[in-house]
Amino acid sequence: MLPTALPGLLNEFEGTQVKLIERQVRIPVAPSHHSLISHIQKTVEVTLGDTVLPVRFVITGVTGVEYNCELGTLEGMEVEKTRGLNSIFSFSPRKVERTDTFNAVFLVPTGIGAEIGGHAGDATPAARVIATACDTLVTHPNVVNASDLNEMPENALYVEGSSITQLLMGTAGLQRVRANRVLVLIDAHETEVFVNDTVNAVSAARATYGFDCVKVVKLDPPLRMTSCFTDSGRAAGEIEGLYRVCTVLDEHDGAFDAVAIASVVDVPDEYHKEYFRRDGKMVNPWGGVEAMLTHSLSLLYGLPTAHSPMLESQAVADFDLGLVEPRLAAEAVSFTFLQCMLKGLHRSPRIVSHPEALGEAGIFTASDVSCLVIPDKCVGLPTLAALEQGIPVIAVRENDNLMQNDLEALPWAKGQLHVVENYWEAVGVMSSLKAGIVPGTLRRPLDVTTVETRTFASATINDV
């Protein structure tokens, strides 16, 4: 069932200006970067006011006096409609770390031009190797979604990015499921063949791996998603018509466990050719606005959510892309881009947010997270949550990206941050942590063992 505060959340807003947009916010640097989550939350709340709901947050760079931040925001809602929702900045420190299993969270943020994982599922090989070094791997669609392919490891949990953030922030947990009932929403596309192929893709999932589709609902008029790039170069965008999605979700309350959405993302036609002809040098223009949508719906409804783009027109479908760079090939050969998210949502874990339920047996929480693996320079809420939860972080330099942050400037505990060159080395650090071995002891020379003399005053009779 949907949270009690949510039915009818947006369906009364037809004709109003409820929309998802990206904002840029500059936040004064906190002293020594301490207590960053609460510091950022207070500044954002003062800056944005009550009618703006943050749904996605990243620090793109730091000057001497400011954090340059970018926020995906849901705007135009009435204040009372959002009071029952947790803020994305809500934080609950974990009281213990459970050590009976070793579990990793693996993230490659969407829309930052990551060298590995910036395209269609090309971080999957890294995910599969990382998965061998842990009992459970928690990862998100951007890592393993490869259009018609999804080769995520057997021990992986497919979790939308905002739900992973809540997991690390300590405000939500994950419950494994046998299968989900999935509600599929698609655009009422002007080209009927695209609608037919999308429905055929759902039917193929039902026929081949027993996918449980509650219903396919066609949105008319369609959801409007427009891609753009921010000043930092990140992919983002703007979304209108979200109330239509929420109306359908409200009408089917209790009949589904997860939501799949296939809709057009408007980008200039030249982006298609430029993206495929620049050998992966262009930031994927679709992923950022997709993440804004799924973050919003996961936050509003507390359900697994994923999105795949529909082709804009027959002209786009007819582009002769030639032989493309391997990281782009999955996108070049797909027509519906749908199968990856259907396979992921089929067994995506249930999101548990009730405080009392987080202590139930079988609920995977922040206490179960043994490490976080991220590209170097990435500072979003998952990184800040790991910092404050005392979770070891492994940052991979080889996965270059647009972000301009120095992770080593943050106030990590000794031995909490491990900056490595590549994912091979990341797996080695994970294996060391799992074995209870300080990773540095595998290298030579070893640091000198330090001895500190603590001198006390001469003993007196009063000390006896």
First-residue to last-residue Cα distance in the chain? 67
- Kindly tell me if the per-residue pLDDT of 79 is higher than 90: no
Structure confidence at residue 15 (pLDDT):
43
What pTM does this model have? 0.94
Structure confidence at residue 51 (pLDDT):
80
**Per-residue model confidence as pLDDT tens digits over 96-144:** 999 999 999 999 999 999 999 999 999 999 999 999 999 999 999 999 9
**Per-residue model confidence as pLDDT tens digits over 396-432:** 999 999 999 999 999 999 999 999 999 999 999 999 9
**Per-residue model confidence as pLDDT tens digits over 142-153:** 999 999 999 999
Segment of 213-227, 266-280, 446-460 carrying the highest mean pLDDT: 213-227
In 29-39, which positions are buried (b, 16+ CB within 10 angstroms) versus exposed (e)?
Answer: ebeebebbbeb
At 459, the pLDDT band (50, 70, 90 cuts) reads low
Structure confidence at residue 161 (pLDDT):
97
Do the beta carbons of residue 55 and residue 299 sit within 8 Å? yes
CA distance 349 to 235: 27
Q: What are phi and psi of 35, to 5 degrees?
A: 50, 50
- Kindly tell me if the per-residue pLDDT of 166 is higher than 80: yes
Average pLDDT, the chain: 92
At 83, the pLDDT band (50, 70, 90 cuts) reads low
Whose CA is closest to 57, among 74, 47, 70, 66? Answer: 70
Structure confidence at residue 67 (pLDDT):
97
Amino acid at 388: E
Structure confidence at residue 17 (pLDDT):
67
Q: State what percent of residues in the chain have pLDDT above 70.
A: 93
Q: Which of these ranges, 46-50, 53-57, 288-292, 362-366, has the smallest mean pLDDT? A: 46-50
pLDDT (mean) for 56-66: 95
Is residue 4 classed exposed, middle or buried when 0-12, 13-18 and 19+ CB atoms within 10 A define those classes? exposed
Structure confidence at residue 464 (pLDDT):
57
Query: How far is C-alpha 185 from the geometric centre of its chain's CA atoms?
Result: 21
Structure confidence at residue 3 (pLDDT):
38
Please tell me the number of Cα atoms within 13 Å of 452 on its side-chain side: 2
Give the strand pairing for 212-219 and 181-187: parallel
Which single residue is written with the structure tokens 């809540």?
166
Bridge partner residues of 419 (DSSP): 395
